[in-house]
């Protein structure tokens, strides 16, 4: 199993540009989530999904969109990038119930 | 709302000494509690979890954590620290009942430095 994969690993955008961060998992996990990590702030939940076709907002959803058309994939879209979205983004997945989350390697995004 | 507090931004310990990284939590219902470790420029790796049962939980790499319901704490411990344990440690909580049961809330992290 590849686990949770994310692409790209690094990305530089200009203010106002849009892009999609890709996330895929091959463990047949129902739950998938996107987090951003900023220094001194831990991980903050952006959006999550409890299954194909079902998504919901987390703590910091503004400026981001998600969709879940398949169990495996959960892309994160930045609609119009802003410097405040400079961060490291992690995708994670888990089974329902008491299972722990498995994290991808992260995408480091810089918005100029 | 659920929350996690890690009161120490940094913990320094000498190699071979015991280490403790502190975590307290707040949830409405019963907690699922987790510890994760992050090495530089890497994703988070799962260390251990408390779901129910024995209050002392053993995990990967010799780490353990003690669940204390009355003090709402879940401190991470290791009897003898290694230099390779130096990393960023995150405590996380999920409410296992009703609202919030989907979401995992993280603390801000504690940087552990083990000094040779």
Nearest by Cα to B75 from B42, B96, B47, B114? B47
pLDDT at B1: 79
Alpha-carbon distance A9 to A95, whole Å? 25
pLDDT of residue B99: 55
Residue B12 in this model has a pLDDT that exceeds 70: yes
Of B70, B35, B69, B77, nearest to B52 by C-alpha is: B69
Sign of the torsion angle spanned by Cα atoms A27, A25, A75, A60: positive
Report the C-alpha gap between A29 and A25 in whole angstroms.
8
What distance in Å separates residue A46's CA from the closest CA in chain B? 11
Q: What is the pLDDT of residues B69-84, one digit of tens each?
A: 999 999 999 999 999 9
Contact residues on chain A for B107, CB-CB shorter than 8 A: 42
Q: pLDDT-based confidence at B96, cuts 50/70/90?
A: confident
Candidates B38, B40, B59, B104: best to mutate against A (most CBs of A within 10 A) is: B104
User: Which residues of chain B are within 8 Å of residue A106 when distances are taken between CB atoms?
Assistant: 42-43
Average pLDDT, chain A: 94
Chain B stretch 52-71, residues whose beta carbon is closer than 8 A to a beta carbon of chain A: none
The neighbour count for residue B39, using CB atoms within 10 Å, is 12
Q: What would the pLDDT profile of A47-101 be if each residue is shown by its tens digit?
A: 999 999 999 999 999 999 999 999 999 999 999 999 999 999 999 999 887 788 9
Q: In a mutagenesis test of the A interface, which of B21, B23, B44, B93 is the best target, namely the one with the most A β-carbons within 10 Å? A: B44
Do residues B69 and B4 touch, judged by C-beta distance below 8 A?
Answer: no
Which residues on B lie below 8 Å from A98 (Cβ)?
32, 49, 51, 96
Question: Pick from B34, B43, B107: which is nearest to A106 by CB?
Answer: B43
Cβ separation B104–A33 shorter than 8 A: yes
**A1: pLDDT strictly greater than 80:** no
> What pLDDT, in 10s, does the model give residues B13-69?
999 999 999 999 999 888 999 999 999 888 899 999 999 889 999 999 999 999 999
- Say whether the peptide bond before residue A8 is cis (omega within 30 degrees of 0): yes
């Amino acid at each position: 199993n590849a686990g949770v994969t994310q692409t790209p690993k690094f990305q530089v955008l200009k203010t106002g540009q849009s892009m999609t961060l890709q996330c895929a998992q091959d463990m047949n996990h129902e739950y998938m989530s996107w987090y951003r990590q900023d220094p001194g702030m831990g991980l903050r939940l952006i959006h999550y999904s409890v299954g194909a076709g079902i998504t919901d907002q987390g703590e910091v959803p503004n400026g981001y969109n998600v969709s879940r058309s398949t169990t495996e994939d959960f892309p994160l879209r930045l609609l119009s990038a802003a410097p405040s979205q400079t961060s490291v983004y992690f995708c994670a997945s888990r089974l329902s119930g008491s299972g722990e989350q498995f994290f991808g390697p992260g995408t480091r995004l810089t918005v100029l | 709302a659920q929350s996690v507090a890690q009161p120490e931004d940094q913990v320094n310990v000498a190699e071979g000494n015991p280490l403790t990284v502190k975590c307290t939590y707040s949830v409405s219902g019963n907690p699922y509690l987790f510890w994760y470790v992050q090495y530089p420029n890497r994703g988070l790796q799962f260390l251990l979890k408390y779901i129910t049962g024995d209050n002392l939980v053993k995990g990967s790499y010799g780490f353990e954590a003690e669940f204390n319901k009355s003090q709402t704490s879940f401190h991470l411990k290791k009897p003898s620290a290694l230099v390779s344990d130096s990393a960023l440690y995150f405590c996380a909580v999920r409410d296992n009942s009703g609202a919030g049961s989907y979401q995992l809330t993280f603390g801000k992290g504690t940087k552990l430095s083990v000094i040779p």
